Amino acid sequence: MTAPPIVGISGRRRPAAGAHDGPAALDELDVEVYFAGYADRLADAGALPLHIPVRADPGEVVARLDALVLTGGSDVDPDLYGASPRPGAAHDRGRDLREMALLAAALERGIPVLAICRGLQLLNVHFGGTLVQHLDHHPLGRDGAHDVTFLPGSVLHSVYGTTVPVNSLHHQSVDVVGNGLVAVGHAPDGVVEAAELPGRDVVGVQWHPEQLAHSDPIFAWMTDVASVARAASPGATASG
């Protein structure tokens, strides 16, 4: 039996308070976290999900992966795209730089990338694009908040068809699209909801497919292209 593809999932480091079952003295420690839906959906699709700790060397860990998922979270530091932060905004510059290093290593190695919500925004900034720092009137909702329409011929059009209802949990979006990227999905109000790197298995979506009530087909796509990348990798082996 062929071994499942290993898909790395980026996370974040947070104070342990509220995230453990031990004594209060442990509140002063840190934990590494991401929402479990990312791993659950990948496992359901047949992949082997792997959490990437903060201290993992980006190049070393990507060398052992078959694909990379960049997860959601806090706003990308506007300094990275030449803008001033809006008042009261919170950023995690350390996470930005770690994930950009993971992305750079994945692009250099040629493995598939799925960038989700903040991940899409980071992908866009990595390629020299900019972001809208706050959307005043974009719909929000846990499931089916609005439709996304895809560009014919795009990867996401092949995954979803012309239009799909998505959830909407973001208050930022792609503004100027990064060099080489193509905006392939839009909401009815014109907000960019998806982007791709043509000719590569590199896709970003602005919604949260891991939180939908149904099994989103993007994870089957991720597993399929990661399996192809694994088979093509030097030293690829089968198990069983």
Active site residues per annotation: 117, 208, 210
Cβ contacts of residue 17 below 8 Å, gap of 6+?
27
DSSP 177: P
Q: Position of tokens 């068809």?
A: 161
Give bridge partners of residue 238 from the DSSP assignment: 2
Give the pairing type, strands 30-33 and 12-15: antiparallel
Burial 124-152 (b: 16+ CB within 10 A, else e): bbbbebbbbbebeebeeeeeebbebbbbe
Cα separation of 130 and 175, whole Å?
5
Q: What is the CA radius of gyration of the chain?
A: 18
Residue 204 near residue 123 (C-beta atoms within 8 A): yes
